[in-house]
Amino acid sequence: MRNALKAASSTTGRPIVYSICEWGQNKPWEWAADVGNLWRTTGDISDSWPSVLSIMKSNLPLARYAGPGHWNDPDMLEVGNGGMTDTEYRTHFSMWSVMAAPLLIGSDLRKASDATFKIISNREVIAVDQDPLGKQGEVVSSEGERWVVAKKMQDGSRAVALFNESGSAQRIATTTTAVGLPGVDAYTLRDLWQHKSYHTAGTIAATVPAHGTVLLRVSADDK
């Protein structure tokens, strides 16, 4: 199939994406990079918080297998289907983007609410997912249901997800050193959901609502 699609692509002049789905049963991340462009890493997703959380936890450890042209696929987006809160949907979209996952809309756009469109059309978050470097975010820490996941970006910045798995608001904190940024006097933090920028000397922190995610893009300021 791979060879046939390559031949068809060459003949038509159109790129063809080959998605492999055997639900992660045979560890395709270990062998499929030479066969297809993406591979499902888990069973099917459902429009529920436990499903999204379980898939996220299964997909995060596979970061080293992802890269340009070969991606871990934690299944389609459920944003807007009604089984979760908007806070949970923002987490869903944020974490799929930090994991460089294919962003496949799984809801009926004819019936989508303004809140749904606002989530799935956030260009700053989509840019994290689509960054040309093609890195999947890696877990920096995950203590007490407080997660920090950092993704290296092509321009040297880091996308940093502060994710609160728990059922109550939590302060989640890390540092610019921990997420891999160089040591400088100051850094700019861009909140990708609030569309606001802040400055820090090195601390990255926020109070995050239950099941919520604060997604930041952090860059070292020029000296």
pLDDT at 53: 98
Structure tokens at 11: 């003949």
Mean pLDDT of 73-78: 98
Distances (CA, A) of 151 to 63, 125, 146, 172: 10, 12, 17, 17
Phi-psi region of 195 (alpha: psi -120 to 50; beta: other; left: phi over 0): left
Mean pLDDT of 100-128: 97
Q: Which helix (H) or strand (E) holds 142?
A: strand 138-143
Q: Which CATH number is 2-129 given?
A: 3.20.20.70
Distances (CA, A) of 175 to 67, 74, 129, 141: 25, 28, 22, 11
CA 179 to chain centre: 16
What is the domain partition of the chain in residue ranges? 2-129, 138-220
pLDDT at 58: 98
Q: Which CATH number is 138-220 given?
A: 2.60.40.1180
pLDDT digits over 133-159, tens only?
999 999 999 999 999 999 999 999 999
pLDDT at 73: 98
Structure-token match 């997703």, residue found: 45
Structure tokens at 214: 């604060």
pLDDT digits over 171-218, tens only?
999 999 999 999 999 999 999 999 999 999 999 999 999 999 999 999
Q: How confident is the model at residue 222 (pLDDT cuts 50, 70, 90)?
A: confident
Q: For residue 198, what are the β-bridge partners?
A: 189
Phi-psi region of 218 (alpha: psi -120 to 50; beta: other; left: phi over 0): beta
pLDDT at 37: 97
pLDDT at 108: 95
Mean pLDDT of 25-42: 97
Mean pLDDT of 57-61: 98
